[in-house]
Amino acid sequence: MMHADIDFLRELNKPGREELARAFLPHTYAKKSLMFSPRDERDAVFIITKGRARVYLAYEDKEFTLAILERGDVYSTHTRAYVAALQDTTIMSAETVHIHRQLLRIPEFTGTMVRVLGEVLRHSISIIDNLAFRDVEKRLRSFLAFECSRAGADQPGGGTLLDLGLTTEHLASLLGTTRQTLSTILNTLSRSGLLEMRGRGVFFVPAVEALDEERPAG
């Protein structure tokens, strides 16, 4: 998101907008510093005037990036996300409550906000896709590898036979997914030769190591 110049700041400097302009104060943050966190009480909007910032959700040591804000991008501190400076970064910020109504009447502001929110939303949906669907395969593979090491029967001709004693439905609920999603993933693993389905809850795994391997994200 690059901008040759910042339309919104130019709009703020127009006659009749003195009061609104005065509500915006500059702040500078050193590279890598945390600018806003979900624990902040503040509800402010800000515009990046210099540098770059990362908006992300954090769950202990797991993080999901929602957006990289660049010069001219507008965002709010009130979205339960963290914002951290990727470089030395300067912003202009104002308390939302004071300026909300006036801001929403400036197309240069709302237009930028729509673009940034659209970008954040696209990233959020990708994260949900990943969490809801693609991570299930990884969990299934780890689970089956664990069960093979724990309860699998090594076969004379090689490979391991695993009798989980679980219906697809129960296995799906164990993995936090649906029966349909699980069936799709099992079929994929089967087609790629990582396992053979031998009826109700019984699997033949030619090579347990291959099942539990980290693969590049699809």
Residues found near a second copy in the complex (CB under 8 A): 57, 59-62, 64, 76, 79-81, 104-107, 110-111, 113-114, 117-118, 120-122, 124-125, 127-129, 131-133, 135, 138-139, 142-143, 146, 150-151, 165-166, 173-181, 184
Closer by beta carbon to a second copy, 105 or else 191: 105
Please state the φ and ψ torsions of residue 139, each to the nearest 5 degrees.
-65, -40
Q: How many residues are given for the chain? A: 218
Residue with tokens 């090594």: 154
Closer by beta carbon to a second copy, 51 or else 67: 67
CB of 164 to a second copy, least distance (A): 9
Closer by beta carbon to a second copy, 7 or else 88: 7
Residue with tokens 């400036």: 106
Q: Quick one: DSSP state of residue 14?
A: S
Q: Quick one: DSSP state of residue 51?
A: S
CA 64 from centre of chain:
4
Closer by beta carbon to a second copy, 87 or else 187: 187
CB of 140 to a second copy, least distance (A): 10
Closer by beta carbon to a second copy, 28 or else 187: 187
3-state helix, strand, coil in the chain (%, to 5): 40, 25, 35
CB of 98 to a second copy, least distance (A): 17
CB of 130 to a second copy, least distance (A): 9
CB of 64 to a second copy, least distance (A): 7
Cα 69 from Cα 86, distance rounded (Å): 9
Q: Which of 208, 210, 212, 193 is nearest to 161 (CA)?
A: 208
